[in-house]
């Protein structure tokens, strides 16, 4: 048989201990039992389910009454709240196969091993502020179709730029279409630019 208690306070060291008020001014200190790998502490005034442990006379907290975030049957939603109970981050596993991640502040990834993505559909990223990407080793980008860089001002720096191929004369554009001088035969073009 369980007892409903109001969460009064908590203490978290190696284990989480909750103090629950079962009736006015009568508190029970209980260990919080959660699914393996789940570290979450209820907010003050949330309702706890206390269960008596056979033979010991003690109680443990076996569950917390959780406000619904709209999960439908078969779905799973994890969420975090601030001290006032406002949702500040949420991860939703939806019934149509969608996984949705929402965060009011930063999203930080720290990975000691390799990181790979295999996307069968499209990938789109929109950044409201500045964006940067830095590779401490070599960086290789490849497109099976067109590759476009568009900016009001573009600059390539770092040392050397190498571009192979030919620029057939078209009447427009910055590239010279004549590989050599028509009169002397001296080369007009090169495929390496240093000092970028």
Residue-wise pLDDT tens digits, 18-28: 999 998 889 99
Residue-averaged pLDDT of the chain: 91
Predicted structure pTM score = 0.78
- At 77, the pLDDT band (50, 70, 90 cuts) reads very high
Residue 19 CB-density burial (10 A; 0-12 exposed, 13-18 middle, 19+ buried): middle
Q: What is the pLDDT of residue 182?
A: 80
- At 169, the pLDDT band (50, 70, 90 cuts) reads confident
The end-to-end CA distance of the chain, in Å, is 76
Q: What is the pLDDT of residue 162?
A: 85
- 49-76 b/e with 16+ CB inside 10 Å = b? bbbeeeeeeebbbeebeeeeeeeeeeee
The span from the CA of 68 to the CA of 82, in Å, is 16
- At 57, the pLDDT band (50, 70, 90 cuts) reads confident
Q: Can you tell me the mean pLDDT for 3-21?
A: 94
Q: What is the pLDDT of residue 196?
A: 75
């Amino acid at each position: 048989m369980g007892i409903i208690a109001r969460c009064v306070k908590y203490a978290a060291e190696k284990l989480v201990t909750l103090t629950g008020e079962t009736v006015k001014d009568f508190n029970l200190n209980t260990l919080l039992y959660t699914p393996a790998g789940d570290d979450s502490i209820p907010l003050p005034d949330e309702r706890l389910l206390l269960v008596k442990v056979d033979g010991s006379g003690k109680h443990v907290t076996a569950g917390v009454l959780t406000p619904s975030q709209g999960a439908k049957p078969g779905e799973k939603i994890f969420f975090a709240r601030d001290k006032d109970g406002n949702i500040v981050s949420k991860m939703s596993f939806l019934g149509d196969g969608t996984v949705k991640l929402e965060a009011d502040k930063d999203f930080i990834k720290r990975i000691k091993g390799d990181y790979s993505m295999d996307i069968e559909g499209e990938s789109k990223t929109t950044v409201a502020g500045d964006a940067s990407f830095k590779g401490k080793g070599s960086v290789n980008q490849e497109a099976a179709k067109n590759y476009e860089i568009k900016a009001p001002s573009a600059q390539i720096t770092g040392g050397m730029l190498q571009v192979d191929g030919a620029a057939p004369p078209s009447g427009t554009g910055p590239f010279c279409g004549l590989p050599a001088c028509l009169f002397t035969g001296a080369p007009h073009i090169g495929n390496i630019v240093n000092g970028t």
